[in-house]
Chains A and B, each alone.
Chain A
Amino acid sequence: MNEIKENQAEELSDDMKVIDEVTSSEYKWGFVTEIESETAAKGLNEDVVRMISGKKGEPQWMTEWRLKAFRYWQKMEEPKWHNVHYPQIDFQDISYYSAPKQKPQLNSLEEVDPELLRTFEKLGIPLEEQKILSGVAVDAVFDSVSVATTFRETLKEKGVIFCSVSEAVKDHPELIKKYLGSVVPYTDNYYAALNSAVFSDGSFVFIPKGVRCPMELSTYFRINSQETGQFERTLIIAEDNAYVSYLEGCTAPIRDTNQLHAAVVELVVLDNAEIKYSTVQNWYPGDKEGKGGIYNFVTKRGACKGKNSKISWTQVETGSAITWKYPSCILQGENSVGEFYSVAVTNNMQQADTGTKMIHIGKNTRSTIVSKGISAGKSNNSYRGLVKIGKNAEGARNYTQCDSMLMSDKCGAHTFPYIEVENNTAKVEHEATTSKVGEDQIFYLNQRGISSEDAVNMIVNGFCKEVFNNLPMEFAVEAQKLLAISLEGSVG
């Protein structure tokens, strides 16, 4: 008996090794050979911040900006108000800079962990993409660099800038100086300050006046930083009458040896412009006991600065051990619109505290919040949302709908709505429901020949329909499959 158990354990740890090998983060471009193997010693101080800035060849003003953020961070306290629990993080026990390790290049998919391939299969990820994701050499036609280059040229013709933040610091300093930190200042919160001091890299997007970005921009096609960084920083600007749809993340499971992730995303939207930001997050949630999962502490915020501007956040969150994330909209311009559509799934020991903030400042600003929380296993899923109507926000309107679905008797669903209204012409509506996946629903579908597993997927996907409808088509299809995988075996 013991022997069998040991064997299984060995096999398991072998699998884990393979998965780690296959998926450990890699950074293919932008680093010279000498620094390839370099990892900074653990700990954080001004020298480390200077070192990071130096390694990236940043100008003095950027280094100073990071240092200011660092000094501010030192005076701050880690927030404790959220409904998630984790052991105290020792911020001096983390390495804040590591030059990317080269992962072994595999020759074919046969060398990839079968478990990973099984997941790819279920997600319906095309073969060539599977190879890229698992680090298999890709043939020339599909080489992501060449795809991305063509892609970049099309954008250039339109005047769209799409590059890494590091590149933008060098090539477009005036834009970075003007906008970086303009929506999420480093003083905003603990993790935003930390990110500002040590951010690794991220996307920079600039859509000039009157341009409708001709394609959906996805991190997947971004040159130089295909991999998600530990402290990702994203900045998107849409000038007057501009439009862009931006896709972040990936449905494929992403593992990372860095446990703490603290990203910052800033959106700036001017008159009559619109940004649609879609996220699918599927980072490693840890094992069934919750060990080894990623802590995802994100600050995402958009400012609708112009009149008739619009920001739409759509997110499907299935990964991470802990998710702490509130994509928000500051509705400053008259008639500006903020939307938040979210599906958050937690299983096993996962914890999610997520929601949004809609800050109505301008007249006739409108916001819509649709949040669908699904809890399974022993997980905990909280919606936390703030709707604030300022005193000048004549005629502002908000509609909030929070629905929770429970898949087991041991999971939790919580709703924390905060509503602050300072203008009595505003209309604020809030609806909330909690339901359990109905046995009568499952039986009804069973009676038509559909298995319980498929029945649950069908019911859950139906539950999330309003959110999926807001995702770009291919993303929506993948998101549905992702949901099925995340909840596999959760109904007994």
Chain B
Amino acid sequence: MLSIKNLQATVDGKEILNGINLEIKAGEIHAIMGPNGSGKSTLANVLTGNKSYEVTNGEVSFVDKDLLEMNPETRAREGMFLAFQYPIEIPGVSNATFLKTALNEVRKYKGLEELTPKQFLDMLKEKAKALGMDESMISRYVNVGFSGGEKKRNEILQMLMLQPKFVLLDETDSGLDIDALKIVSNGVNIYKNPNTAFLVVTHYQRLLNYIVPDYVHVLYKGRIIKSGTKELALELEERGYDWLVAEQAEVV
């Protein structure tokens, strides 16, 4: 589904990604871990087409198309979804208006009919319920006055509504207490299916107890220095990143 080859990228002229290689197939869950500043969030932003990041080298194909050629909205319509680490506030725009517009754009791209207001509302209420969200959030302004937990839950709600093929979770666990973490993870697990792949970017192993990855990759200085299975995450939790960095130094 997603194939990344030698991806390099800079922010304000500074090299952050130094040649990422990664293959992700439908139905798989991959986790990217790494210390602060290793390039985890940059990878998420580059894949979704944030203009503040410049790709300097490499290729990315997504559903057999050249991802880097697409603008951000086309990537989204093709089924790429980013659950933001810091969801953005849009004052004066209700969650319902925002989601309806987004959903209809995605449907239009796929050649599907727009949903009627009733169909849309029924769907929205059902998904909100699954996440234990109050119906009042439907008419609230996008992320305005939301608590940290509510914002993250709102991201997962958008995922459930838009039904993407590829989901990037960028530090979704940050700022969540254990109950909120369970609810958010539960949302992801409800959605998990053989046609969808996940890339979970996280600093801590904790989230991976709830969203169990098939593969774990360690990112360091813009490169994947080690890949393994979920046991690798547990090992990192126990031993930290230093031993890997040392190992890496030996190899070089």
Contacts and interface: CB of A to CB of B under 8 A. Distances in A.
Best-surrounded residue of B71, B76, B97 (most CB of chain A within 10 A)? B76
A272 B97 CA distance: 38
Contacts of B158: 448
B51 A462 contact: no
Contact of B88 (A440, A450, A461): A440
Given A446-B72, A447-B72, A459 B90 contact: yes
Interface string B213-230: 000000000000000000
Interface residues on A, range: 20 to 34
B90 A446 contact: no
Interface in A428-468: 438-441, 443-452, 454, 458-459, 461-466
B93 A458 contact: yes
B122 interface: no
Contacts of B141: 462
B53 to A, nearest CB: 11
Contacts of B81: 447
Best-surrounded residue of A443, A458, A463, A465 (most CB of chain B within 10 A)? A443
B102 A449 contact: yes
A439 B51 contact: yes
Contact of A454 (B48, B72, B101, B109): B101
Contacts of A449: 73, 76-77, 102, 105-106, 109, 162
Given A446-B49, A447-B82, A450-B105, A461 B73 contact: no
Interface string B84-99: 1001111111000110
Contacts of A454: 101, 105
B136 to A, nearest CB: 17
A341 to B, nearest CB: 14
Contacts, number: 75
A27 B84 CA distance: 58
Best-surrounded residue of B75, B101, B158 (most CB of chain A within 10 A)? B101
A450 B50 contact: no
B76 A446 contact: yes
A464 B76 contact: no
A108 B18 CA distance: 64
A441 B89 CA distance: 7
Contacts of B109: 449
B144 to A, nearest CB: 9
A450 B73 contact: yes
A446 B93 contact: no
Contacts of B89: 441
A447 B101 contact: no
Contact of B101 (A439, A443, A458, A465): A458
Nearest to A448: B102
Top 5 A-B residue pairs of the complex, sorted by shortest distance between their CB atoms: A462-B92, A465-B92, A448-B102, A446-B72, A462-B93
Given A449-B73, A461-B93, 8 more contacts: A441-B88, A441-B89, A443-B88, A444-B87, A446-B73, A448-B162, A462-B90, A464-B92
Interface of B: 48-52, 71-73, 75-77, 81-82, 84, 87-93, 97-98, 101-102, 105-106, 109, 141, 158, 162
21 contacts: A441-B88, A443-B51, A443-B88, A444-B84, A447-B76, A447-B84, A449-B77, A449-B105, A449-B162, A450-B73, A450-B105, A451-B73, A451-B105, A454-B101, A458-B93, A459-B93, A462-B92, A463-B92, A464-B92, A465-B92, A466-B92
